[in-house]
């Protein structure tokens, strides 16, 4: 008989001796509990990944959220001449909140500004209006442009405009006046002249739209230009801002909402409502994940209890095998192989169930305009959980066998 046949006979004999007291019902119970727990966890993780794009266009796993806040304007404050500006103390207090990462100040022009758009190029027919500029730190701007800078020696004003303004023209003003609609590319090439008046100066400067912002509902210029123009045409004094832009951890944070309400701050747009929905989604998914992890842990302890009972019932056989010269690792191997096989089956079935459930709800999400998220994160979570459970099982089995071996010695 060959050596391989002897090894097979030895392994078969060990398994035949050790499996006598194995309870199939206990193993099935563990497998089902572990399967349910793991499926709940990875399905919750995958659902969260698939739903997130509905609330957020940015694909980054660690996303930056921004809010623009103002002080509420009241009738009494208006009649009594109250100020809606943010003092430095108020800004510092906001910055110190745990949900706030950064605070940016809006600066505005304090001089007269008139904009003229030449329809037929410079020298052609034109239309104009009084206008305003604002500026914020560059790190808060969501449009990347290499020419986002101002040089007084080459006075051309780069501008970032709210995309809502272009939509308002195309679908409001242009549609009602019979004017042609324009794209972002066309409007970026339209000549613009700005007349700046104040402090004894009256100058005309060219401007150029370098981008459109989804985040900022205003007309933004570089801070370098705002500082230079306010010093030349305005008072040159730094005023307290009436608007702030905040980089926050989550716009739906309950503590942040309470803070803003208590201080009478208002949030521009619907970002807060979207943040609340995303915060609620994250909270629900977190609760589901915790429930799944608890079920998985209970399944782990059920298996360990079953193995300990099995080892206890087989104590005499295990001691005899150790006396016959089998090492503790050889005695433990059949139980370890059994646990690894069960965990591998649970892992595969849980992933299949998650993919089937995803195939059921994904068409509904696609109908809402999102293609869904990646499945890699859910798969990694599944593998990590089962790897941790398997390592825990192996350690427990080896400790029990080694304890018997020490007693035998």
> pLDDT by residue for the chain (409 residues), tens digit each?
444 444 444 455 455 555 555 667 767 777 787 788 888 888 888 887 887 776 554 433 334 578 888 887 655 444 455 567 888 999 999 999 988 888 999 998 888 999 887 655 444 456 778 888 999 888 888 666 667 888 887 778 888 888 888 787 777 777 777 777 777 777 777 788 899 999 888 988 888 888 888 778 888 899 889 999 899 998 878 888 888 988 887 666 778 888 888 888 888 765 555 556 666 666 776 777 777 677 767 766 766 666 666 666 666 666 666 666 667 777 777 778 888 888 899 899 999 999 998 888 888 877 766 777 888 988 998 899 888 888 887 887 788 777 766 665 5
Q: Are residues 379 and 286 in the same domain?
A: yes
Q: Are residues 320 and 369 in the same domain?
A: yes
Q: Are residues 306 and 378 in the same domain?
A: yes
pLDDT at position 355 is 92
Residue 249 falls inside a structural domain: no
Q: Are residues 230 and 297 in the same domain?
A: no
Q: Are residues 282 and 396 in the same domain?
A: yes
Residue 86 falls inside a structural domain: no
Q: Which of 240, 264, 294 is the last residue of a domain?
A: 240
Answer yes or no: are the C-beta atoms of 210 and 158 closer than 8 Å.
yes
Residue 175 falls inside a structural domain: yes
Answer yes or no: are the C-beta atoms of 339 and 394 closer than 8 Å.
yes
pLDDT at position 269 is 60
Cα–Cα nearest to 114, from 100, 133, 91: 133
Positive/negative CA dihedral, 391, 397, 401, 404: positive
Residue 154 falls inside a structural domain: yes
- Whole-model pTM? 0.54
* 199 φψ region: left (φ > 0), alpha (ψ -120 to 50), beta (else): left
Q: Are residues 150 and 41 in the same domain?
A: no
Residue 302 falls inside a structural domain: yes
Q: Which of 190, 214, 240 is the last residue of a domain?
A: 240
Total domains in the chain come to 2
Name the 3-class secondary structure at 192: strand
Cα–Cα nearest to 345, from 129, 34, 26, 81: 34
Residue 199 falls inside a structural domain: yes
pLDDT at position 59 is 39
Q: How far apart are CA 108 and CA 221, in angstroms?
A: 10
Q: Are residues 393 and 286 in the same domain?
A: yes
Q: How far apart are CA 221 and CA 225, in angstroms?
A: 7
pLDDT at position 78 is 46
Q: Are residues 226 and 299 in the same domain?
A: no
Q: Are residues 34 and 141 in the same domain?
A: no
Longest dimension (CA), the chain: 110
Q: Are residues 221 and 287 in the same domain?
A: no
Residue 1 falls inside a structural domain: no
DSSP state of 139: G
Q: Are residues 282 and 403 in the same domain?
A: yes
Q: Which of 181, 215, 240 is the last residue of a domain?
A: 240
Residue 115 falls inside a structural domain: yes
Domain ranges, residue 312:
18-60+276-408
Q: Are residues 207 and 115 in the same domain?
A: yes
């Amino acid at each position: 008989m060959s050596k391989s046949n002897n090894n097979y006979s030895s392994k078969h004999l060990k398994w035949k001796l050790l499996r006598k007291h194995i309870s199939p019902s206990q193993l099935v119970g563990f497998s089902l509990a572990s399967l349910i727990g793991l499926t709940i966890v990875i399905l919750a993780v995958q659902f969260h990944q698939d739903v997130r794009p509905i609330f957020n266009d940015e694909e980054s796993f660690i996303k930056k959220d921004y809010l623009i806040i103002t002080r509420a304007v009241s009738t009494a404050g208006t009649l009594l001449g109250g100020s809606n500006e943010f003092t430095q103390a108020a800004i510092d207090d906001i910055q110190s909140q745990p949900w706030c990462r950064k605070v940016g100040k809006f600066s505005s022009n304090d001089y007269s500004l008139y904009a003229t758009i030449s329809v037929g190029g410079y020298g052609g027919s034109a239309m104009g209006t009084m206008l305003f500029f604002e500026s914020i730190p560059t790190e808060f701007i969501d449009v990347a442009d290499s020419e986002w800078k101002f040089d007084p020696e080459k006075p051309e004003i780069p501008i970032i405009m709210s995309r809502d303004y272009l939509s308002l023209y195309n679908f409001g003003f242009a549609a009602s006046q019979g004017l042609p609609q324009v794209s972002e590319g066309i409007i970026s090439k339209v000549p613009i002249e700005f007349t700046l008046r104040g402090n004894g100066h009256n100058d005309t400067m060219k401007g150029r739209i370098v981008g459109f912002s989804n985040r900022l509902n205003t007309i933004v210029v570089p801070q370098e230009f705002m500082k230079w123009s306010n010093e030349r045409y305005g008072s040159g004094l730094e005023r307290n801002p009436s608007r702030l832009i905040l980089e926050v951890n989550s716009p739906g944070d309950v503590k942040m909402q309470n803070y803003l309400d208590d201080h009478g701050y208002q949030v521009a747009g619907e970002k807060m409502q979207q943040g609340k929905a995303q915060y609620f989604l994250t909270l629900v998914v977190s609760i589901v994940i915790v429930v799944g992890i608890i079920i998985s842990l209970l399944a782990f302890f059920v298996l360990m209890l079953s193995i300990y009972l099995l080892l206890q019932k087989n104590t005499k056989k295990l001691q005899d095998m150790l006396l016959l010269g089998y090492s503790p690792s050889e005695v433990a191997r059949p139980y370890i192989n059994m646990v690894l096989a069960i965990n591998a089956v649970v892992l595969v079935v849980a992933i299949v169930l998650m993919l089937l459930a995803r195939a059921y709800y994904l068409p509904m999400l696609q109908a809402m305009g999102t293609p869904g998220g990646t499945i890699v994160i859910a798969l990694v979570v599944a593998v990590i959980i089962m790897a941790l459970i398997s390592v825990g099982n192996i350690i427990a089995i080896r400790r029990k066998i080694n304890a018997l071996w020490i007693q035998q010695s």
